[in-house]
Structure 1
Amino acid sequence: MNRWRFAFSRRWFGYLAVAIVFAIVCVLLSNWQLARRAEKTHEISLVTDNYDARPVAVDALLPDLDAFDPADEWRPVVLEGTYLTDDEVLVRNRPRGGQPGFEQLVPFRTTDGSVFVVDRGWLPTGNEQDLPDVVPAAPSGTVTVTVRLRPGEPTVAGRGAGEGQIATIHLPELAERIGEPTYTGAYGLLVDESPAPAETRPAAAQRPVADEGAHLSYAFQWLIFGILGFVFLGYAIRQEYRALNADDPEEQERAEKRERRRREKRTDADVEDELIDASR
């Protein structure tokens, strides 16, 4: 036991404390990765359950202007009314496939007089200006539209936008601009319009890819790192024990056994390499 007394010194207790703190950090990071995975799997389940559901009337899912159940995200709803083209805006900083672009938002006044914000799709930035080359006009007159529900976005501090543009899809801000009773719980990604527009519509929103990422493997990796901290600590203690007791007969005998085992495991290639090194 006296040979191991060094391992109970203040120095080694300090190393142990570092290993414990490192392990705790690794566990916290592992839990964080598991939480991220849970968020991803929840998002995937929403798309799987809701994306191709049968469309229903908007007031069936949004009974009030500020109502929205996150479980209804991606659910298709049907609205009838007219587009308020004078109040349409472009949402800045919407890259797609590595290309910068905008989203076209057009308020839609339903037959009951309330306004619902419709995202008609994506438009690429022009080649010669920081705007789309063409902004397709929404259909005029009475239109029936089908959209998929999406929650509004928060504001981003310090991010501005020019005339006729908006930095984020912050529905209360849009409602203030429109100046009419407006749905602020959710907006809609356009699926189709009837009658169809005279011009080609913006690029439709893409179906989200069902990919939960590598969060689970990262979580296991962090746990392994936490365990390896203690393994390394044990290895360091063992190495110092061997150094302090190199003259001990029992330790010398164990060292000779280790060397014999190492030599027995050598391959012919190892022997040849040693002979070549010795001849240089």
Structure 2
Amino acid sequence: MNRESDQPSWGFLRSKRWAGYTGLVVVFSIVCALLGQWQFDRRAQARAEIARIDANYANAALPLEEVLPSLDAYSDDDDKWQTVEMTGEYEERVLLVRNRPNQQSVGFDMLALFRTDSGNVFVVNRGWIDAGNTPDEPGKIVAPPEGRVTVHARLKESEPEIPGRETSGDMLATINLNDVADLVEQPTYTGGYGLLSAEFDAATEEPLSAEAGILQPKPERDEGPHLSYALQWYVFIIMAWIGLAYAIRMEYRSLYPQSERTKRQDKKTAERKQRRGLDDGEIEDALLDAHR
């Protein structure tokens, strides 16, 4: 009996169930696309950082006032890693930044206050030191050299504040230059600070071998796995739609096993199996059936 309802139709896709499945795949695809774009953005940021390293790290030192014409100047990261030169004297006061990692240990960064000949204070990170007997106390604090010196330092931007962590005396939670300026209470550069590169006697221009902490090495030129992660998210989108299409196909076959479409698909499947022969699993199944 050929009733109209028995005729093959894709009308079942208009049901609430299949609308829900399709909506779920659409939402999943949107989320994956956003995550993929986020990874592309992170890759772009990493490549921009590599470009800054290549452009600035090996440059000759430029006068500090030329790179930072005002105390709060910082040129959208374009000046990052540029070596700046300044002449003046270190102050005796040293600030410490806690919870700074170095390989397998956590210690402190030493911040020296360098008073330039112009009278402004520039913050110089003189390297990392290990903790002492307790994690909250530093080990040996190395004093900066005395007298007039010329300093070369690679420029970095001020770090943001960390919620829930506060400055305690001369102990900082992060290298936030506004916090440093509040502590120093003197005209202080807040647009950027410097990672110590070299020091020279201002009178003789001879390099100084003053002891310092462990200096930060040259940053790696590594963009990370962001490209592969981004592509993976788009592969997930393709897999989701393939899965939906497969589910629709299986639903159609279960509803209309005798339809011409289903018969043609079964015939093609049988012909493919015949051309390639039986696989090991099918041979084992046939042998088991023969002995039953």
Task: Judge same fold: TM > 0.5, yes or no.
Answer: yes
Describe how 1:215-254 pairs up with structure 2 within 5 A: 215-248=226-259, 251-252=262-263, 254=265
TM-superposed deviation, 1:199: 5.2
Q: Which amino acid aligns with 2:144?
A: A
Q: What is the SS of the residue equivalent to 2:105?
A: coil
CA–CA separation in structure 1 for the residues paired with 2:159 and 2:265: 67
Q: Quick check: 125-134 or 97-106, which moved more?
A: 125-134
Q: Which residue does the alignment assign to 1:185?
A: 191
Q: In structure 2, do the counterparts of structure 1 residues 192 and 176 end up closer, same or farther at CA, with 3 Å as the change threshold?
A: same
Question: Residue 58 of structure 2 aligns with which residue?
Answer: 52
The answer to whether the aligner puts 1:212 opposite 2:218 as a matched pair is no
Of the three residues 76, 96, 104, the one matched with 1:90 is: 96
CA distance in 2, matches of 1:142, 1:277: 93
1:56-71 equivalences in 2 (<5 Å): 56-69=62-75, 70-71=77-78
Give CA-to-partner distance per residue, 1:138-188, whole Å, 9 cap, x none.
101111110011100111121135443100111111111111111111110
Q: What SS does the aligned partner of 2:216 have?
A: coil
Q: Deviations over 1:43-64 (max 9, x none)?
A: 1110111001000110011111
- Structure 1 residues 268 and 11 mapped into 2: Cα distance closer, same or farther (>3 Å)? closer
Corresponding letter in the other structure for 1:155: E
Cα distance in 1 for partners of 2:148, 2:89 equals 5
Flag the 1:253–1:114 CA change in 2: closer, same or farther, 3 A.
Answer: closer
**Identity value in percent:** 39
**Matching residue's letter, 2:231:** F
Q: Distance in 2 between matches of 1:277 and 1:85?
A: 88
Measure, in 2, the Cα distance between the counterparts of 1:2 and 1:275. Answer: 34
SS at match of 1:181: coil
User: CA separation in 2, counterparts of 1:263 and 1:216?
Assistant: 42
Distance 2:265 2:74 in 1: 71
**Cα offset for 1:198?**
6.8
Aligned equivalents of 2:211 and 2:149: distance in 1?
A: 16
Gap change, CA 1:271 and 1:155, over 3 Å in 2 = closer
Aligned length in residues: 279
Q: Which runs of 4+ in 1 moved over 4 A?
A: 196-199, 275-280
Change in Cα spacing, 1:218 to 1:93, as seen in structure 2 (3 Å) is same
Q: TM-score w.r.t. structure 2 length?
A: 0.88
Mapped pair 1:202 → 2:213: yes
Of 28, 33, 38, the residue aligned with 1:27 is: 33
The equivalent of 2:129 in structure 1 is: 123
Which of residues 81, 98, 106 is equivalent to 2:88?
81
Question: Secondary structure of the equivalent of 2:99?
Answer: coil
Contact residue 8 and residue 256 of structure 2 kept, 8 A? no
Q: 1:110, 1:59 → 2: CA distance?
A: 10
Contact 2:8 2:259 in 1 (8 A): no
Question: How large is the RMSD of aligned CA atoms in angstroms?
Answer: 2.2
Matched AA of 1:73: K
